Structure 1
Amino acid sequence: MLRNYRKLLFKNNVCPVIIHKKNFLSKEYKCTEAWNNMNSSPVFNKINIHDFYNVLDQNYSSKGVLSAIDVDIFANAIKDQGHLEELKDLLHKLRTTAETGNMLESTQQATVRNFMEFGDVKELVEILKDPLNFGVFLDDYTANMLLDKLLTLNNYELAARVASLVMLQEEFNHELTCALCQYACYKYITTYTPTPSEPAPPEEKNKKVEEIKIRVKFIRNPFFDDHFDIKDTLLLSGKTLAWISERADNNLNNNLQIIGWLKYKKYDKLAAFSQKISNEKSFKVYKEVIEVLEKENAVIEAEFKPILENCMSTLSKAEQNTEASLEETLKNAIENAINKTHKNDVSQQKQLFESWAKLREQKLQEQAQRLDRARRIQLIQQKQNEMQEQEQKLWFFENEDKIDLEIEEKEKLVDKTVTKKKASKTTDEDYIPPEILPKRK
């Protein structure tokens, strides 16, 4: 039907309307109005965000201290793109202080929302990939919104990276998050095309290379944890697909788990799982799974070909699923998850925003009390010093002997090494050097 409609438009010289891809999540899911209400506190009306950053930066440079509540206020006060780099800088500086453990959850969500709305999503993913320097983590709601945005933009590589971040946290409790992660990884795996590697530069013959040796106390043995140390996006996508698909035992997850173990290069688990599910009567294999296996069999190393061929022959005996494609089934799973969780997610986000607003007010009051207490202590100490100096002036003649003794004690503590060095350098005018006689033959 759509194809005939396009032909009719071109035949009549009518420019076709470009239909953009539909989002999975509705605008209501983002709870933008509730988020703006949370950040409509009178505190934000009193802040000049540019001057506020300068004050925080100077405070950090002079004292090495940065308050988590101040960073939270700055993050939630951003209304344009111009202050995203400053927010990134404050997040990094906060990680270097003892206050990093007090970072508020609203700071992390504000960072994700600001970069999604005003900034570059790619830069946001880089921040999320480096929690050691920025300390920003995704929750279920921000993960869903970010995955929805990336999938709408057809940026499957970044979407797979975000899904891998969810896998690295090992939090698979939210049904919608898991479904979106599965879809992102599946689309990246099926659309992945390896980039041709650049040819190595020709080596110059008879060129001596100078060896540089460095003395070290000990050599650290190489270690690979097969989790946080994985950098390859394709490998991470396979592991994410395999781990998330393990959470539920149904036909869709079983098919996705096969692709996951394959791309994760865990061929022993792939063979064992294929043998297990092939014996189940309810299992139906999708043709897309067989196509991925055949495509991988063409480029796999020779030592693993027998395992993969055995898996293909085992799965080919299972009944084919011809009702719908694997991608359509995944989309239906996402829609079903949205229908189940949408209302609950929206209400929980609104409750979170209210609790975050109350917590921010509480933290601000506590900080104001601490600053007021520190200022009063400083004033008391200053007043005590002034009274001590005044007392010394008033009772100088009565305590003159005592003051003289104190001065003598201080003079004894003076380091005399400098005077000794100066005395050793002075030359005696009557000094006569010894006469050097010639050696006797």
Structure 2
Amino acid sequence: MLRNCRKVFFKNNVCPIIIHKKNFLSNEYKCTEAWNNMNSSPVFNKISIPDFYNVLDQNYASKGVISAIDVDMFANAIKDGSHLEELKDLLHKLRTTAETGNMLDSTQQATVRNFIEYGEIKELVEILKDPLNFGVFLDDYTANILLDKLITLPDFQLAARVASLIMLQEEFNNEITCTLCQYACYKYISSYTPEPTEPAPAAEKNKKVEEIKIRVKFLRNPFFDDHFDIKDTHTLSGKTLAWISERASNNLNNNLQIIGWLAYKKYDKLSAFCEKMSSDKSFKVNKEVLELLQKENATAEAESKAILENCFTTLSKSEQNSETSLEESLKVAIENAINKLHKNDVSQQKQLFQSWAKLRDEKLEEQAQRLDRARRIQLIQQKQNEMKDQEQKLWFFENEDQIDLQIEEKEKLVDKTVLKKTATKTSDENYIPPEIRPKRK
């Protein structure tokens, strides 16, 4: 259809106005209005962010406890970017307490939305990369919003890093998330250039190196799990692309899977998959795949060159070549996924916001009742102590003998050595040393 329109335009010498789409996701998908309605409760108008943070910080410093619902209220009450550092601090403090298991899903979504809205995306990615200290994870909707934002900036390195977090969680349920992850990883891998390695400084020949020996209880055997231990973004992008592309067998995913195994440097799987695709008559190889194979072969080690050359030769023999570029195919896949799931995702988000608002009200009511109960118990104990003192005054003469016995027992418990030490200490303070005179001749 688009090709026919272009032919008509150029045939009639009419220059078409091309409107570039800035975002894949519409503003409706972000459900900003529904999110603001969830946080329009009158209780938020009573919160002073600086005072609230000081109270939470003092409670944590004195008691070592912080409430999950208080952190949720703080995260949802933020109205400007000046309090993001305090939110980060509270998330870390909550993570160090037993209350971290009660952390609300709305807290995590509020954290992601706040950092995106106020332009601190790099800081957000660092928080997401450290779940042990902050406990913030992406769900399908926040992942889509964040990936869409990074892709349209564009910052494909950060986008690929976020996509790798989805892969590490192994959550490939949402088709929009999967296609956005594929697009981010492909764009990063295709534009990747390895950083030049600086030569190591030459060591001085005659300089002695002092050995430092440290006593340790035991040595831990080196272990690499090939999943959470991967730190290189390029390798993570390759694994993400390969794993996500495995979930469906079509021409686009098959081409992306080849690129994924290539960037992941799993040449045995790459070779086996290329052999499998060469026997598939419906498979059409993209020229971008062949270009990346040649690019990798130019910098590969001698052991891997033979495998990569064999893969290139195998794919080059394919009878059919895809005319559409991989990037255009990925954009079409993203649009199809959005058209398929947009309405359902929007309705589910609105339902989630309503359930979160209801859960927050319940948690606040429970906390108010708990604090009221603790306050009443404290007042009762205080009243009992006052009554006990008053009773002792009123019945002093009747219980004088018993009180004397109690005083004697308490005096026996006092350590006499403490009294001696205090006595010697006071006497030492009043001590005047003798005057020393020279000897007579």
TM-score above 0.5: yes
Structure 1 SS opposite 2:368? helix
Q: What residue number does 1:35 align with?
A: 35
CA distance in 2, matches of 1:129, 1:218: 29
CA distance in 2, matches of 1:347, 1:147: 20
Aligned residue pairs total: 413
Letter in 1 for 2:92: H
Shift of 1:415: 2.2
Q: What residue number does 1:260 align with?
A: 260
Q: How does 1:312-323 map to 2 (within 5 A)?
A: 312-323=312-323
Q: What residue number does 2:78 align with?
A: 78
CA distance in 2, matches of 1:120, 1:321: 43
Shift of 1:320: 3.1
> Structure 1: 5+ residue runs without aligned partners?
6-16, 427-441
CA distance in 2, matches of 1:153, 1:39: 28
Q: How does 1:232-243 map to 2 (within 5 A)?
A: 232-243=232-243
CA distance in 1, matches of 2:24, 2:422: 84
Q: How does 1:370-389 map to 2 (within 5 A)?
A: 370-389=370-389
Q: What residue number does 2:144 align with?
A: 144
Q: What residue number does 2:176 align with?
A: 176
1:193 aligns with 2:193: yes
Structure 2 SS opposite 1:179? helix
Is the 2:286–2:323 Cα contact (8 Å) retained in structure 1?
Answer: no
> For structure 1, which segment, 332-341 or 195-204, has the greater mean C-alpha deviation from structure 2 after superposition?
195-204
CA distance in 1, matches of 2:279, 2:72: 55
Shift of 1:277: 2.2
CA distance in 1, matches of 2:207, 2:93: 46
Structure 2 SS opposite 1:285? coil
Is the 2:238–2:261 Cα contact (8 Å) retained in structure 1?
Answer: yes
Shift of 1:98: 1.0
In the TM superposition, what whole-angstrom CA distance separates every residue of 1:165-221 from its partner, at most 9, and x where no partner exists?
000000001001000000000000000112223333332231122222111111111
Shift of 1:341: 0.6
Shift of 1:45: 1.1
Shift of 1:20: 6.5
CA RMSD of aligned residues (A): 2.1
Q: What residue number does 1:205 align with?
A: 205
Shift of 1:319: 2.9
Q: What residue number does 2:437 align with?
A: none
Shift of 1:119: 3.1
In the TM superposition, what whole-angstrom CA distance separates every residue of 1:276-307 from its partner, at most 9, and x where no partner exists?
22212221111111111111011111111122
Letter in 2 for 1:237: S
Is the 2:285–2:322 Cα contact (8 Å) retained in structure 1?
Answer: no
Q: What residue number does 1:127 align with?
A: 127
CA distance in 1, matches of 2:88, 2:323: 48
Percentage identity across paired residues of the two chains? 83
Q: What residue number does 2:433 align with?
A: none
Shift of 1:387: 0.9
Shift of 1:388: 1.0
Letter in 1 for 2:206: N
CA distance in 1, matches of 2:43, 2:419: 61
Shift of 1:413: 1.9
CA distance in 2, matches of 1:276, 1:102: 48
1:97 aligns with 2:97: yes
Q: What residue number does 2:365 align with?
A: 365
Q: What residue number does 1:439 align with?
A: none
CA distance in 1, matches of 2:78, 2:280: 55
Shift of 1:161: 0.2
Q: How does 1:33-432 map to 2 (within 5 A)?
A: 33-418=33-418
CA distance in 1, matches of 2:376, 2:202: 72
Is the 1:286–1:320 Cα contact (8 Å) retained in structure 2?
Answer: no
Is the 2:168–2:227 Cα contact (8 Å) retained in structure 1?
Answer: yes
Shift of 1:322: 3.0
Is the 2:71–2:91 Cα contact (8 Å) retained in structure 1?
Answer: yes
CA distance in 2, matches of 1:423, 1:390: 36
CA distance in 2, matches of 1:78, 1:90: 13
CA distance in 2, matches of 1:323, 1:302: 33
CA distance in 1, matches of 2:18, 2:130: 37
Is the 1:261–1:270 Cα contact (8 Å) retained in structure 2?
Answer: yes
Is the 1:84–1:119 Cα contact (8 Å) retained in structure 2?
Answer: no
Structure 2 SS opposite 1:236? helix
Shift of 1:21: 5.5
